Amino acid sequence: MDDKEKVIEAFKNSEEPLNAKKVSELSGVEKKEVDKIMKELKKDETIVSPKRCYWTLAEK
């Protein structure tokens, strides 16, 4: 499982929106790398922000 999959998995397993620090803790991926991955996920609209600085998977 690569880092991007780990980050997405952290979102799937959480019932509440997450910030980058929490995603890092849950996925075991360095926060710096999480920031980079989340930037990609925001761009392709895989994750959306229900409140400032917190993210969740987009409903598809």
Q: Give the SS3 label for residue 40.
A: helix
Per-residue pLDDT at 59? 84
Range of 20's domain? 3-57
CB atoms within 10 A of CB 54: 13
What CATH code is carried by the domain that includes residue 8?
1.10.10.10
60 — pLDDT class (breaks 50, 70, 90)? low
- Report the domain count for the chain: 1
Q: What is the pTM of this model?
A: 0.91
φ/ψ of 8, rounded to 5, equals -60, -40
| Each residue's pLDDT tens digit, 15-45 | 999 999 999 999 999 999 999 999 999 999 9
